[in-house]
Chain A
């Protein structure tokens, strides 16, 4: 990288690629070449920058200029102004919504200020398809040191001391897991990387694999060294083609460099990595289901114990860790457990990557120290609620988590605090809701997801979730009865108490947490026949105010089901039995004569 005077980093994550970042790169390269600057300026397609709301992003080094929402048509201006003349293209700079100031250096942006990047440290910095760039940022240094200077026990102790806990959802101490797998005697063991990211809205694992695949490969090899495995498998969903492609390139390059394969760095340690594709079932994120899927069996969980550490893939001891967990390992080993354990809270060390989504200004991927409050994440980093609306709730932990209200905004985020407040860390999905979101519908949305994704093996999840969904649907249809809320609670408790795996045991969480925090909203649906957020169509009622109606017939002519009648220049009338609540009349009326209650 030192040969170039200037680097243009373009986000090559899935989202920005969909917004033509490949074309931007192509045009930049073409123009730079045409101008004879090819030896001075390098264009690099990197992994995700995280600020997806404003993608595609083009970052200029060394001055750190951060251009947002760049289109291929902006390329000429960026090159002619910034590269040739050294002037900022102001219209492409990020504007701080709080004070309308333009910020050119990403370090000055609120979105990045509170972030600490460990798992994402290389995402958006390096070309993930070039192993040299990874190595230039201390890549494979940890592996080399482990193999040549440290015993497996020492490495495991370091991981244990760091306090790193599983980032896939469970939060099990990573070092302990390694130690357990190490202590099981067997001549064949496996390291499995769980890349079956399935939470709706979560995409940190994909981004890491797309932006920094070597960090995961390096960590898997270290894990293999520690537990005594010579084979690693990455279980990745086939819907992640870019991540798969970059992983394949990374494995090939690492093999060519002798960093993966036989006799790594001449130490006699062998470690091979292969990919296994999943069909994208949420439940296959559960480790026993994942293992069965890899074995070619139906992707459904089995009862634990035995845990995979004892009997996993092909009945052999298997250490399963999530992508983000692995991505932390090389950094921990390079900087030391002490450094890492200073970040975070007492029982949750380090950082956590969250995928911000929903009604929040800065949708994207962030990494913050454990202990950061929800308020900091949502307001400081996330830029607050879209369109100046009121914050209502945030769902953490994906479909297995719970909805937290504004009472929890100052809650420092860590595994235990989230659990204690009726939600969970999960894999780090964070979906923000505003005043227009109906919490019954939200619970229904999540149930719909778990219903689809249940493997169907155990009764509570297979049938129980269906019944929960039906009750919620009944309520949103305006047909709910008072005892239905009680039924929801009772059934939820039994499902949590009896389901076989983590999916079923947590699937009622959105129901329970929304009832707990928004019981009035449920009651409004059931007792008053109203949806306070105005989302449940069946509960809406459109009426024409006689005094305001001029009889223009516009509503009559636009109603798709003929529910409106009336004489010209006479007040019109809506037949509630025919009305499908489409709202066309409401939008069309020029006299505000139609009310929505």
Chain B
């Protein structure tokens, strides 16, 4: 039977068979509260352990209450979503959760953004009737993520992200009964595990159990130090999401306001990671063409497909999981690190200051960037190319802390020389964007012809794995795209098995790419937000006069004045890196 008739709170409802009670109720405007359940439409991500028992409803004729999130409707079902029995059970379950949760909401990193807090409010919890022992665990701090496990409510969302979506397999439930908790195996620290710091666990945690390492204090200290010149770079995906932190519609582009806010925070120069993204395309695109040229010339040793290397979680992932393939990804550093390397050489020279007196702060949609900028290979004399990486959320906190009324800020422009960018740099923030940017440049360099079109719709979208063939003037270039490390794993396994026919593959760790990064404003399970951010980036690209990286005048100038040409020795030294076997 395809159609099911039922009643929900006495309202007749007709839905397709296979619909859950939760979905059926939602269709008629009854929003049954949930806690552990999370469904990211279009991304094929669902966490449905049926564990929290908040969504229980009464089904006539059934002995016990049914969890709405994982009970399918059936013909003639009579459901009550808010009977006294249901409300009593729901509130009792909520009280039980709260009875094992710290009461430090006022000083919790998640305060105001906490789904547990909201739910407690919505359920009208005023008292905990069942008090008792609370679980206590030590705090686990890593370079990027803090685990405050006392606040874990066993929703298992992080576990789903870590295991099923990312296939990293660090977080899972351990111990039994009241002692159960989500943790790395043997309760080891995150930084001893194979965690990639992708931060998708942080992105979906409903409470303050998983948060990013807060570095706003370090940024404030740097900004207050008169001996330091403090510059900032902003990743492309930040501008498409920052507004959400100030109550603006998802997908609002706030580039100009963001620049204005950063200037008011006291940064001496406000630059753009998009500039470095253009630079990345110059290097990575050239590397692709080099490998391709050798391949076409019959060189059997050349490694194809080339894999993008902008994403630090992806880099750490293959270093742990596929170390034997570490010579396949491009050696190009990520835009964040290219920016840092250029800033602390080229730009510091221009200012006539020592690299130690220049502080580079980056605003990232990502928590892995915190880890990336601390990697030893990105330091000179122990001084990192990028000093502090803070997330979109942390920037919002800084802006609020500094009494800046974000929404009423004027639009301002980035500073130069490291603030100029093309549309190609902008779309780095979404899945498919890096490879599209690379295609725009590689095509023109390879064919020496102007591209007939700039929008490659075949590379865009939200499907986890996408593929397309781009005609390079008679030469078909096969391109693969994966976002989410589980999808990346599939493509890597194909390469391993010798089944991959791609010339180039773009990989981003986070579902949706950087727009869905672990440092972005919380989407609270609404994948529509990611789509709006994606649309905003493509819009920003369209708005740009220059949309091809190799046309960025400041990039051209950088090569002329400093680097020579792409893949030059200097470029190699500053803009490329190596990978390590971490097994």
Contacts and interface: CB of A to CB of B under 8 A. Distances in A.
B51 A494 contact: no
Nearest to B180: A456
A460 B132 contact: no
Interface of B: 49-54, 56, 64-65, 67, 70-72, 85, 88-89, 92-93, 96-97, 99-100, 129-130, 132-133, 153-154, 172-173, 175-181
Contacts of B51: 457-459, 500
B132 A458 contact: no
A460 B172 contact: no
Given A281-B176, A460-B96, A500-B67, 4 more contacts: A457-B51, A458-B50, A466-B177, A467-B96
Nearest to A494: B92
A281 B50 CA distance: 21
Contact of B50 (A487, A497, A500): A500
26 contacts: A302-B50, A455-B177, A456-B154, A456-B173, A456-B175, A456-B178, A457-B154, A457-B173, A459-B51, A459-B93, A459-B153, A462-B180, A463-B100, A463-B178, A464-B93, A464-B96, A470-B132, A494-B89, A494-B93, A497-B56, A497-B64, A497-B65, A498-B53, A498-B64, A498-B93, A499-B53
Given A457-B154, A470-B133, A494-B93, A462 B53 contact: no
A505 interface: yes
A463 B180 contact: no
A300 interface: yes
Interface string A495-539: 011111000010000000000000000000000000000000000
Nearest to B129: A487
Overall SS of chain A's interface? helix
A460 B177 contact: no
A298 interface: yes
Interface of A: 281, 298, 300, 302-303, 305, 451-467, 470-471, 487, 490-491, 494, 496-500, 505
B120 to A, nearest CB: 14
Contacts of B172: 298
User: DSSP majority for the B interface?
Assistant: loop
Contacts, number: 111
A420 to B, nearest CB: 14
A466 B92 CA distance: 14
Contact of A451 (B65, B92, B93, B177): B177
Contacts of B71: 303
A462 B177 contact: yes
A283 to B, nearest CB: 8
A85 B544 CA distance: 112
B60 to A, nearest CB: 15
Contacts of A496: 64
B177 A497 contact: no
A451 B180 CA distance: 11
Contacts of A470: 132-133
Contacts of A451: 177-178
A467 B132 contact: yes
Given A467-B130, A497-B64, A303 B177 contact: no
A378 to B, nearest CB: 30
A455 B132 contact: no
Contact of A458 (B52, B89, B99, B176): B52
A281 to B, nearest CB: 7
Nearest to A505: B64
B431 to A, nearest CB: 30
A300 B176 CA distance: 10
A191 to B, nearest CB: 27
Given A456-B173, A491-B92, A462 B130 contact: no
Contact of A463 (B85, B88, B99): B99
A455 B88 CA distance: 24
A461 B173 CA distance: 15
A471 B96 CA distance: 14
Q: Top 9 nearest A-B pairs by Cβ distance?
A: A456-B180, A454-B177, A463-B96, A467-B130, A303-B50, A470-B132, A494-B92, A466-B178, A498-B53
A452 B70 CA distance: 27
Contacts of A455: 176-177, 180
A70 B181 CA distance: 50
Contact of B176 (A456, A494, A497): A456
B129 to A, nearest CB: 7
Contacts of B93: 459-460, 464, 494, 498
Nearest to A498: B53
Contacts of A494: 88-89, 92-93
A154 to B, nearest CB: 32
A288 to B, nearest CB: 11
A298 B182 CA distance: 12
Contacts of B56: 497-498
A163 B73 CA distance: 31
A459 to B, nearest CB: 5
Contacts of A302: 49-50
A361 to B, nearest CB: 35
Contacts of A281: 176
